[in-house]
Every structure is written in C-alpha cells, then in structure tokens.
Amino acid sequence: QKEVEQNSGPLSVPEGAIASLNCTYSDRGSQSFFWYRQYSGKSPELIMFIYSNGDKEDGRFTAQLNKASQYVSLLIRDSQPSDSATYLCAVPRGSQGNLIFGKGTKLSVKP
C-alpha cells in the first residue's frame, strides 16, 4: 500500500458546488496532514494543515481528519473556476519531516 493515496481524477464540479477531495494514508502514527494546491506549470502552494481529529475551516476550505479511518479530506465550498488545479495531500515522514505527497487529484470547476 502506498503511503499516501489520492484519486487522480479528474474531478469535475459545476461552479458554486462543493468539491470534495479525499486522501488516505498508511502510517497510523501520522500526526499532521497538509493540503497543497498546484496550478499547471507552477509550484505547490500550502492551503491548509490539520493536526486534530475533526474539522478545520479556513474561508471556503474545510479540512476533515479521521485518524481512526486514516483519511483526510478537503472540502471547497462555492467552487470557482479559479479553484481548478491539482490538489496534493501530504504527510510528514521521519525525523526531518520530509513530506510524502500523494499523486494529487485534478479538480476542474466548470463555469
């Protein structure tokens, strides 16, 4: 089993809808989780991180963590065409905190 798994998509949602992106991880001891957004041809940009079980909200973004089920999700409310990008889930590994990235889910928001 890969350390961090994401559905590659593409996930297509209409403008204004809620986009739901999911990520599962294999290391039950993982404590922190990160969501990055990467536009085509650009470098990743940190959107949110979450450490505790439950929900964490920041504007239109909500991260949800369920450690018992080993999944973390990202909800984007009121999706906009500008949200169209690849969303990467990442989990730290090792003492230096190297981030292990999933392959990313490509989101397309249709006007």
> What is the closest distance, in whole angstroms, from the C-beta atom of residue 94 to other proteins in the complex?
9
**Encoded tokens for 38:** 């990467």
> Site for other proteins (CB under 8 A): which residue of 26, 52, 66, 98?
98
Q: Which stretch binds other proteins (CB under 8 A): 16-24, 40-48, 58-66, 67-75?
A: 40-48
| The token pair that represents 76 in the structure block | 């984007």
Q: Are 87 and 35 in contact (CB under 8 A)?
A: yes
**Residue 9 amino acid letter:** G
| Token pair recorded at residue 14 | 């209409």
DSSP string across 7-27 = ----EEEETTSPEEEEEEES-
Is 64 a binding residue for other proteins by CB under 8 A? The answer is: no
Asked whether position 97 contacts other proteins by CB under 8 A, the answer is yes
Site size for other proteins (CB under 8 A): 20
92: contact with other proteins by CB under 8 A: yes
Measured CA to CA, the distance from residue 31 to residue 34 in angstroms comes to 10
| Selected range binding other proteins among 19-27, 28-36, 66-74, 77-85, rule: CB under 8 A | 28-36
Residues that bind other proteins (CB under 8 A): 32, 34, 36, 41-46, 49, 88, 92, 96-99, 101-104
